[in-house]
Amino acid sequence: MQPGYAITFFYYDDIAAIARFYEDTLGFELVLDQGMARIYRIAPGSFFGIVDGNRGHLRHQPQSAVLLTIVAEDVAGWHARMQAAGVAKLGPIQTGTYCEHFFFEDPAGYAIEVQRFRDPKVAALFA
């Protein structure tokens, strides 16, 4: 059996307050509003959701231990956009062995990374 796609969900104390960040600041496309959950398309076949942590399957945690990574070619453009939006804990663009990337946090403290694989052969593994 082959899966069709995946959706990663983050749980929040107040999704109404966080929805604007994902829709306006990050520009994610809202695919489905279920009231207690909102599901966004990040890219073709790549989905992300936010859930009311008071009503969903899991409960909102005050400290997260997860990271959402957005893979994009224009890391500098994303960084400039996040800087203009004044996102929390915006780090500098870093260049490592495998990728160029930076980190920041959403308004509730979840960690987000934007990265680009430097080696086209590695990037092709995810195409």
Secondary-structure class of domain 63-127 per CATH: alpha beta
pLDDT in tens, the chain (127 residues): 777 888 999 999 999 999 999 999 999 999 999 999 999 999 999 999 999 999 988 888 888 879 999 999 999 999 999 999 999 999 999 999 899 999 999 999 999 999 999 999 999 998 8
Question: Rounded CA gap, 105 and 73, in Å?
Answer: 20
Structure tokens at 120: 């086209």
Boundaries of every domain in the chain: 1-60, 63-127
pLDDT of residue 58: 82
Q: Return the number of other C-beta atoms located less than 10 Å from residue 24's C-beta.
A: 10
pLDDT of residue 106: 96
Cβ(38)–Cβ(15) under 8 Å? yes
| pLDDT single digits (tens) 40-52 | 999 999 999 999 9
Report the CATH superfamily, name and number, of domain 1-60. 2,3-Dihydroxybiphenyl 1,2-Dioxygenase, domain 1 (3.10.180.10)
